[in-house]
Amino acid sequence: MNLLEIEYLKTYFFTEAGVVKAVDDVTLSVEKGSTVGLVGESGSGKSVTAQSVLRIVPRPGKIIGGKVLFNGEDLLLKKEEEMRKYRGKKISLIFQDPTSSLNPLFTIGSQLADIVIEHEKVKKDEAMERVVKALRIVKLPDPEHAIYQYPHQFSGGMKQRICIARALLLNPELLFADEPTTNLDVTIQAQIIALLKDLQKELGMTLVMITHDMGIVAEMCKNVVVLYAGNVMESGSIEDIFERPHPYTEALLKAVPRLDETRKLISIPGNIPNLIDPPSGCRFHPRCQYAIDLCKERKPPLEEVGNSHFISCHRWRELQGGRS
Amino acid sequence: MNLRRRSDKEIKERGASQWAVAWRRFKKHRSGLVGLGMIIVLLTIAAFHNVIAPYPARPHPDAFKPLYEGESAQPPSWKHPFGTTVMGTDVFSEVIHGSIYTIYVAVAVTIISMALSVGVGIVSGYFGRLVDDVLMRITEVFLVFPSLLFILLFSRIYQLGVAEPFWNVFGIKIPVGLTIVVVIVSIFGWASYARVIRGEVLRMKECEFIQAAKSLGASSRWIMLRHIFPNILPQVIVLATLTMASAVLVEAAVSFLGFGDPNTITWGRLMEESLQDLSTVWWAEVFPGLAVFLTVLAFNLVGDGLSDALNPRLRE
């Protein structure tokens, strides 16, 4: 059973320069208890997709269409008051920058306890106990002391642990991690990734990893969704995607630097398109080495090419045959 | 491994809060401390005004004692440090009695105008769009008013309609006329602060922890009270000290122009009363003026010190 199903989600930003189609017809599903990678370059709509699920898209963004089915219920039809009960309690989000996502004025304990109190109407002492428990789960050293300290007294990695604890306080069913390691240094990154992996296993949580790091995806995820310019390019199991990729995914994989090869760093030519006026047809065609005229004219549908492996490409048949 | 069980006190030892840091920095700010000292002196004088002043306040008949003793219009001397007026009152005593009204005006105007500007600023900045448009247009109306003219006009109209000079609230006599001036000054003074606060809120709103709070199910009210307000409090405090200074100035001006409360002898009122004798009895003008000047200076010095101490960009 799928915990989350997003169908034809459209989230546009109504800026003064024009309408930015940040998420355009995104369709994906997340199986209960699995880890799904949401991959793409910056500006591909990964974060906006997560924000849309929680309905916290910042202005001037607006969800203008589609469905977000969580346990079969469409979150886009919920009232704001009902939606608030989902945020934090059923669906949580870990942010990219742990430093700026904690309120600098309050101690860790008081700001985390607030969330428990707000949702469960418990006494302060009980809330604090829950906070200590959550901090222990994320292996923050000395949680009894930590709750009396301010965010600036912790290192970046510790702060990210605190943020993860905050997201897990109310045992959500679904956790989005929005590039949780981007602002941390490499050794800490590995620790946080290991922690998330362990937590997912221990708590049986459903985790959506938003990242642009194919290494993280390969290490953690069972399924992957590849986004490009607000469109789903490909989705499927990690094996399918690494073995029979979409031309865009293929280009992404080639761009991962490798230690065992002495070659120049490969990059995808061109830039991510301007989403006010996205390319016609397939949005990747101006940068695609396999593009043909058809790609310019018609948007390829998301087709099932194998066992729940979906690709949006006109040429997938010949390309897969050719590359094998 | 040596695992000592720590006492509860050790465990509960808090890190340095923003306020502790700010106080530490303020303590190093010399002019700020001078201003704070001056305000403490002013508060002490106001608290013990009946003890310190050699003569009682009007309308007590003893306030005119120098007149009966043939000492009206005397220059400053040991007996009358600030001299006496033509009508025979001791300027020193009157200035001391006036301090209580100055503090009342400063505090009351600040509370009312800060409440208005913080409320409007936060709501306007946080909700944006239509709410923002409506509130900001209202704010602009108050900004373009020739406020001093309106303050004068309204205080005169209301003074005429006042039946009793004092309200008795828990044994404290609150001058009605002065309170009217306070309310009018506040109503015409909050608008520019609301704009400053709205700007701060707009900046605050972009912070990731606001977005994080939202993603964790916080309500708008909660975000405004618990996340936005505490984070703009430093700016509010600085604005508040500056409001105190300008409130004292505006009230002095209103009283000096003769539009103040006729039943309260404020510093501005003292200056107004002796204005026609300026050429001979200059001391009746200079000392109340000096009191106003020093008070405003003190509030400004403290405001300056606070804005340095609370500025996160200057953190050590």
Q: Would A120 be classed as within a structural domain?
A: no
Greater confidence (B122 vs B10) lies with: B122
Residues B44-90 have pLDDT tens digits of 999 998 888 888 888 788 888 888 888 888 888 888 888 888 888 88
Q: Which pLDDT value is given to residue A322?
A: 54
| Phi/psi at B243 (5° precision) | -65, -40
> Which of A57, A52, A70 lies closest to A206 in space, CA to CA?
A70
Q: Which candidate in A62, A100, A121, A163 is best for mutational testing of the B interface (most B CBs within 10 A)?
A: A100
Contact pairs from chain A to chain B, CB under 8 Å: 86
| Cα–Cα distance measured from residue B128 to residue B275, given in angstroms and rounded to the nearest whole number | 50
Point out the residue among B15, B215, B218 whose CB comes nearest to the CB of A153. Answer: B15
Distance spanning both ends of chain B, measured CA to CA: 36
- Mean pLDDT (chain A) is 87
CATH number, position A49: 3.40.50.300
Residue B245 pLDDT class (50, 70, 90 cuts): very high
Q: Would A309 be classed as within a structural domain?
A: yes
Cis peptide before A257 (omega within 30 of 0): no
Q: Would A196 be classed as within a structural domain?
A: yes
Pairing state of beta strands A91-94 and A309-311?
A: unpaired
3 state DSSP class of B174? strand
Q: Which pLDDT value is given to residue A104?
A: 87
Q: For the residues B173-193, what does the mean pLDDT come to?
A: 86
Could you tell me the two tokens for B161?
A: 């309609």
Q: Would A250 be classed as within a structural domain?
A: yes
3 state DSSP class of B79? coil
Residues B90-116 have pLDDT tens digits of 889 999 999 999 999 999 999 999 999
Contact A182, A131 (CB under 8 A): no
Is A89's CB within 8 Å of B227's CB? Answer: no
- Mean pLDDT (chain B) is 85
Percentage of chain B modeled with pLDDT above 90: 34
| Cα–Cα distance measured from residue A188 to residue A308, given in angstroms and rounded to the nearest whole number | 34
Q: Which candidate in B215, B225, B310, B313 is best for mutational testing of the A interface (most A CBs within 10 A)?
A: B215
- What would you measure as the largest C-alpha separation in chain B, in angstroms? 88
| Cα–Cα distance measured from residue A215 to residue A201, given in angstroms and rounded to the nearest whole number | 19
How far is the CA of A256 from the CAs of A180, A208, A213, A215, A311, in angstroms? 19, 21, 8, 8, 21
Q: Which pLDDT value is given to residue B274?
A: 86
Q: Would A146 be classed as within a structural domain?
A: no
> Which of A24, A27, A22, A13 lies closest to A68 in space, CA to CA?
A27
| Cα–Cα distance measured from residue A196 to residue B143, given in angstroms and rounded to the nearest whole number | 54
Please check whether residue B207 touches A, CB under 8 A.
yes
Contact A195, A189 (CB under 8 A): no
Please check whether residue B202 touches A, CB under 8 A.
no
> Which of B252, B43, B88, B288 lies closest to B261 in space, CA to CA?
B252
Is A88's CB within 8 Å of B216's CB? Answer: yes
Alpha helix segments (H runs only) across B128-189: 129-144, 147-161, 176-187
Q: In what order do the strands lie in the sheet with A2-15?
A: A18-31, A2-15, A61-70, A73-74
How far is the CA of A270 from the CAs of A38, A226, A286, in angstroms? 22, 18, 8
With contacts defined as CB-CB under 8 Å, which chain A residues touch B126?
none
Q: Where do the domains of chain B lie?
A: 19-314
Residue B316 pLDDT class (50, 70, 90 cuts): very low
Could you tell me the two tokens for B295?
A: 């008070």
Q: What is the pTM of this model?
A: 0.81
Residues B262-297 have pLDDT tens digits of 788 889 988 888 888 888 888 888 999 999 999 999
> B48: how many CB neighbours lie within 10 A of its CB?
11
Distance between A182 CA and the closest CA of chain B, angstroms: 15
- For chain A, give the secondary structure using H, E and C: CEEEEEEEEEEEEEECCEEEEEEEEEEEEEECCCEEEEECCCCCCHHHHHHHHHCCCCCCEEEEEEEEEECCEEHHHCCHHHHHHHECCCEEEECCCCCCCCCCCCCHHHHHHHHHHHHHCCCHHHHHHHHHHHHHHCCCCCHHHHCCCCHHHCCHHHHHHHHHHHHHCCCCCEEEEECCCCCCCHHHHHHHHHHHHHHHHHHCCEEEEEECCHHHHHHHCCEEEEEECCEEEEEEEHHHHHHCCCHHHHHHHHCCCCCCCCCCCCCCCCCCCCCCCCCCCCCCHHHCCCCCHHHHHCCCCCEEEECCEEECCCCHHHHHHHHC
Q: Would A6 be classed as within a structural domain?
A: yes
Hey, which of A293-297, B8-12, B82-86, B212-216 has the most confident mean pLDDT? B212-216
> A74: how many CB neighbours lie within 10 A of its CB?
13
Residues A230-275 have pLDDT tens digits of 889 999 888 888 888 888 888 888 887 777 777 777 788 888 888 8
Residue B229 pLDDT class (50, 70, 90 cuts): very high
| Phi/psi at B77 (5° precision) | -150, 180
Contact A163, A106 (CB under 8 A): no
Is B17's CB within 8 Å of A150's CB? Answer: yes
Q: Would A151 be classed as within a structural domain?
A: no
Please check whether residue B222 touches A, CB under 8 A.
yes
- Give the DSSP H/E element, type plus range, for residue B42: helix B30-47
How far is the CA of A36 from the CAs of A53, B37, B208, in angstroms? 15, 63, 24
Contact B175, B165 (CB under 8 A): yes
Q: Would A158 be classed as within a structural domain?
A: no
Q: Which chain A residue's Cα is nearest to B233?
A: A105
Q: Which candidate in A84, A112, A125, A155 is best for mutational testing of the B interface (most B CBs within 10 A)?
A: A84
> Which of B253, B134, B246, B255 lies closest to B193 in space, CA to CA?
B246
Q: Which pLDDT value is given to residue B14?
A: 61
- Domain range enclosing A263: 2-90+172-323
Residues A70-124 have pLDDT tens digits of 998 898 998 988 898 889 889 999 988 888 899 988 899 999 999 999 888 899 9
pLDDT at B28 over 50: yes
Is B218's CB within 8 Å of A119's CB? Answer: no
> In which residue are the tokens 């997003």 written?
A6
Residue B159 pLDDT class (50, 70, 90 cuts): low
3 state DSSP class of B176? helix
Domain count, chain A: 1
| Cα–Cα distance measured from residue A12 to residue A20, given in angstroms and rounded to the nearest whole number | 6
| Cα–Cα distance measured from residue A212 to residue A249, given in angstroms and rounded to the nearest whole number | 11
> In which residue are the tokens 């829950």 written?
A130
pLDDT at B1 over 60: no
> B50: how many CB neighbours lie within 10 A of its CB?
11
Distance between A217 CA and the closest CA of chain B, angstroms: 24
Is B211's CB within 8 Å of A144's CB? Answer: no
Pairing state of beta strands A223-228 and A231-237?
A: antiparallel
Residue B217 pLDDT class (50, 70, 90 cuts): confident
Greater confidence (A220 vs B2) lies with: A220
Q: Determine the topology of domain B19-314 in CATH.
A: MetI-like fold (1.10.3720)
